């Protein structure tokens, strides 16, 4: 009798079976900013911007100085974080329009599915940009497959980015505040009759495009793509930060008495940069700096809510960004003119979209007061490895083949050396990192020959050592080709 009940108990608590005891199993929160650079946080060396909210995590946690996403743009980067796979294994893992189909196979293992399997309540708030539906979504009806089908039991998201239609929020697969008498329609091919656009109606704009963004005008800001109807549901950019924050806080409140996993996707500092009036003009660096201060405030308020709910001690919080920074990203918002001495990519060369270090070396902080000692780690880590690592932490296994490595001891600051190698995806090219070395294979119109940099000695990637290090180069070329086969590369660049 006793044996039977023990067996039943173990079946209900797989974490107890596989190592970590129930008490050691933390709640998990990933706060992922959008286009926030390695050098944008004061805890990473910024002096022109002060980010006390994010700095608090660094003071109380482990700050990584050699952490990477897999790609220099949102969609492929987020794809890896969620699925533990290199984005080059999915030809659709490229910057998506707002009406793109979900690019994650709903049968595939994902980070939220792993944690759901471990008994966690799972939720996603904020930026999404992984596609929704099957490619022909009626935005007025239930939108699926989406967040729920990849493992988030609760979701309050934007379909893509703040500069792409549809400019509405979607909660649990339903458009928020949609009036059935005023249905919303979305197109990325043509405008709807009678609707003004950024291209044709500049007199209606309060923020002007520098490139692209000639589509529908929502809240005085021109977007990519066209929408009509759904007026009551249209978002107000100024209120977005607080709305996402409140939804994230509500999730904490609702699930404080059980194990939970929350993905909190900050929409800043992606364009259009429209801060709440409390932050407008506060950075002295224009809207880009202002929305970073706003994002930092969101982090600060979120952490205070965790304090208030008694969740701080046993919650593993990860703060990171989906790719490197960018200044002019399609709107005239003075990001370049007002940057001054601030270096958004820190010591690195390259930006969002590039395969250089600045495109994918991102801020990454782990705080779990109960287990992780505060400090700094220079180990090479990657967001893609969170899937296998958090599966290990929660005693889960899965049968899908992924590229995710279990580097849990490194994430927790305990032991190990982190990753030995990593493929880095630019917008249409790749780089290959091995130890302190980065190889840039040739691409038409970019570089004719292989380039090789020692990024420890040469973070700006200016001193090409390909000729001097021929043996190393050959070995890396061969390993890179091998990795393409091993990890099922199917992209055609
Ligand atoms: Ca991004």
Give pLDDT tens digits for 375-423.
999 999 999 999 999 999 999 999 999 999 999 999 999 999 999 999 9
Question: Rounded to whole angstroms, how far apart are CA atoms 226 and 99?
Answer: 10
Centre of ligand 1 from the C-alpha of residue 74, in Å: 4
Centre of ligand 1 from the C-alpha of residue 169, in Å: 18
Helix, strand, coil in percent for the chain, rounding step 5: 30, 20, 55
Residues 408-427 as b or e (16 or more Cβ within 10 Å = b): bebbbbeeeebbeebbbbbb
Centre of ligand 1 from the C-alpha of residue 235, in Å: 20
What three-state secondary structure class fits 376?
strand
Question: Rounded to whole angstroms, how far apart are CA atoms 285 and 48?
Answer: 9
pLDDT at 2: 41
**Do the Cβ atoms of 69 and 93 come closer than 8 Å?**
no
Question: Rounded to whole angstroms, how far apart are CA atoms 57 and 53?
Answer: 7
pLDDT at 16: 41
Strand positions, DSSP E, 141-239 = 154-158, 169-171, 174-175, 185-187, 217-218, 221-222, 226-228
What is the pTM assigned to this prediction?
Answer: 0.95
**Do the Cβ atoms of 157 and 136 come closer than 8 Å?**
no
User: Which uninterrupted H or E stretch holds 319?
Assistant: strand 315-321
Centre of ligand 1 from the C-alpha of residue 34, in Å: 4
Q: Is 279 exposed, middle or buried (0-12, 13-18, 19+ CB in 10 A)?
A: buried
Show the low-confidence residues of the chain (pLDDT under 70): 1-24
**Do the Cβ atoms of 146 and 170 come closer than 8 Å?**
yes
Torsion angles phi and psi, residue 185, rounded to 5: -130, 145
Centre of ligand 1 from the C-alpha of residue 222, in Å: 19
Centre of ligand 1 from the C-alpha of residue 323, in Å: 5
Please name which of 257, 7, 19, 11 lies closest in space to residue 117, comparing C-alpha atoms: 11
Using the Cα atoms of residue 162, residue 75, residue 339 and residue 43 in order, give the sign of their dihedral: positive
Over residues 188-216, the pLDDT tens digits come to 999 999 999 999 999 999 999 999 999 99
Centre of ligand 1 from the C-alpha of residue 369, in Å: 29
Q: Which domains does the chain have, with CATH numbers?
A: 23-174+235-413 (3.40.720.10), 428-486 (3.30.1120.10)
Centre of ligand 1 from the C-alpha of residue 346, in Å: 17
Q: Could you tell me how far CA 51 lies from the centroid of its own chain?
A: 19
Strand 421-425 with 121-127, pairing: unpaired
Using the Cα atoms of residue 458, residue 461, residue 466 and residue 468 in order, give the sign of their dihedral: negative
Those residues whose C-beta lies under 8 Å from the C-beta of residue 105, and which sit 6 or more positions away, are none
Centre of ligand 1 from the C-alpha of residue 180, in Å: 33
């Amino acid at each position: 009798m006793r044996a039977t009940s023990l067996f039943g108990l173990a079946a209900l608590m797989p974490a107890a079976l596989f190592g970590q005891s129930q008490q050691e199993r933390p709640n998990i929160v990933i706060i992922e900013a959008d286009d926030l650079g390695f050098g944008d946080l004061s805890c990473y060396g910024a002096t022109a911007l002060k980010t006390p909210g994010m700095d608090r995590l660094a003071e109380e946690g482990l700050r990584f100085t050699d952490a990477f996403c897999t790609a220099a743009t949102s969609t492929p980067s987020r794809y890896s974080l969620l699925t533990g796979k290199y984005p080059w294994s999915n030809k659709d893992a490229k910057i998506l329009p707002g009406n793109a189909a979900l690019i994650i196979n709903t049968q595939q293992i994902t980070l939220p599915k792993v944690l759901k399997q471990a008994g966690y309540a799972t939720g996603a708030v904020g930026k999404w940009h992984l596609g929704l539906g099957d490619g022909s979504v009626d935005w007025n009806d239930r939108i699926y497959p989406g967040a729920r089908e990849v493992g988030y039991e609760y979701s309050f998201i934007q379909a893509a980015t703040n500069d792409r239609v549809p400019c509405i929020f979607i909660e649990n697969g339903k458009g928020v505040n949609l009036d059935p008498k005023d249905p919303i329609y979305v197109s990325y091919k043509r405008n709807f009759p009678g609707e003004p656009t950024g291209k044709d109606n500049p007199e209606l704009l309060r923020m002007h495009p520098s490139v692209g963004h000639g589509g529908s005008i929502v809240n005085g800001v021109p977007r990519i793509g066209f929408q009509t109807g759904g007026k009551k549901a249209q978002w107000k950019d100024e209120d977005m930060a607080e709305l996402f924050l409140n939804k994230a806080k509500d999730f904490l409140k609702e699930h404080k008495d059980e194990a939970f996993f929350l993905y909190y996707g900050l929409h800043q500092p992606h364009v259009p940069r429209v801060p709440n009036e409390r932050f407008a003009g506060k950075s002295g660096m224009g809207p880009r700096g202002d929305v970073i201060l706003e994002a930092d405030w969101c982090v600060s308020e979120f952490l205070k809510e965790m304090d208030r709910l008694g969740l701080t001690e046993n919650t593993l919080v990860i703060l990171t960004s989906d790719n490197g920074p960018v200044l002019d990203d399609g709107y005239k918002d003075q990001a370049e003119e007002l940057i001054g001495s601030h270096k958004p990519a820190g010591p690195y060369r390259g930006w969002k979209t590039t395969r250089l270090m600045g495109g994918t070396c991102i801020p990454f902080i782990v705080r779990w007061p109960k287990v992780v000692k505060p400090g700094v780690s220079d180990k090479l880590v990657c967001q893609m490895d969170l899937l296998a690592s958090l599966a290990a932490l929660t005693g889960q296994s899965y049968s899908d083949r992924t590229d995710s490595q279990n580097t849990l001891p490194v994430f927790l600051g305990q032991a190990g050396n982190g990753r030995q190698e990593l493929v880095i995806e630019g917008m249409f090219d790749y780089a290959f990192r091995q130890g302190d070395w980065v190889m840039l294979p040739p691409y038409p119109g970019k570089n004719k020959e292989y380039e090789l940099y020692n990024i420890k000695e040469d973070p700006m990637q200016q001193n090409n050592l390909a000729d001097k290090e021929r043996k190393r180069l050959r070995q890396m070329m061969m390993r890179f080709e091998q990795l393409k086969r091993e990890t099922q590369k199917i992209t055609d660049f």
